[in-house]
Homo-oligomer: A and B are copies of this chain.
Amino acid sequence: MSLPHAILTSLAERPGSGSELARRFDRSIGHFWQATHQQIYRELARLEASAWVEATAVEGAPGRKRRYRILPAGRQELERWTGAALAPPAIRDELMVRLRAAGEVDPGDLTHELDRLLNHHRAQLATYEAVRERDFPHPPASRTGLLQLLVLDEGIAFERQRIAFCEAALALLRNP
């Protein structure tokens, strides 16, 4: 389970409130580890109970906004986890199951859904490419930047692969 460490990483990059983290997740690390705001708030409470982060109330903000910062113990935990045993990914790919099912029964409206999925992946690819142009116009000099770019490029490669796959599946389903 990577959520607590994804949050610690995000807070190590920059302190922030729960809602800010939720938005940051939507744009950044959440592309690789999704989380709802409920998950994030619950996890922040746990991280605070473990004394890995601390929170201070933010005056003059709507709601009862709290700003979280990572503590030295939290950074130490993040470092421990970074080098800890790494399991192979637990793959759960609904699309592949669907296509195997489509080999056994009539696929019905699956081509329509594949079209929608194709649009989603094209949009995601465009988003990643825009982020790349904006944040990495030149090769980064720091190790941090190089790692961020490596991960971003993997996102780009993933979306391209998905697009090609959806196109191939559509071609196959449309030519019986």
How big is the A interface, by class?
35 or more
Bitwise interface map of A from 165 to 176 toward B, beta carbon under 8 Å scored 1, else 0: 100110010001
Q: How far is the CA of A114 from the CA of B85 in the complex (A)?
A: 10
Taking CB atoms and an 8 Å cut-off, the chain A residues in 14-70 that contact chain B are: 29, 31-34
Contacts of A172 in B (CB 8 A): 143, 146-147, 150
Residues 68-96 of chain A: 1 if any B CB is under 8 Å from the residue's CB, otherwise 0? 00000001001111111111111111111
Nearest CB on B from A106, distance (A): 6
Whole-angstrom distance between the Cβ of A6 and the nearest chain B Cβ: 5
Query: Which B residues are in CB contact (< 8 Å) with A12?
Result: 101, 104-105
Task: Tell me whether A135 is interfacial, beta carbon within 8 Å.
Answer: no
* Contact call B9/A97, Cβ cutoff below 8 A: yes
- A111 and chain B: residue at smallest CB distance: B83
**Within A124-176, which residues are at the interface with B (CB < 8 Å)?**
124, 143-148, 150-151, 154-155, 157-158, 161, 165, 168-169, 172, 176
Whether the pair A82, B101 counts as a contact (CB closer than 8 A) is yes
Which one of B29, B102, B112 lies within 8 Å of A100 (CB-CB)? B29
Residues of A that sit less than 8 Å from B by CB: 2, 5-6, 8-9, 12-13, 29, 31-34, 75, 78-110, 112-114, 116-117, 120-121, 124, 143-148, 150-151, 154-155, 157-158, 161, 165, 168-169, 172, 176
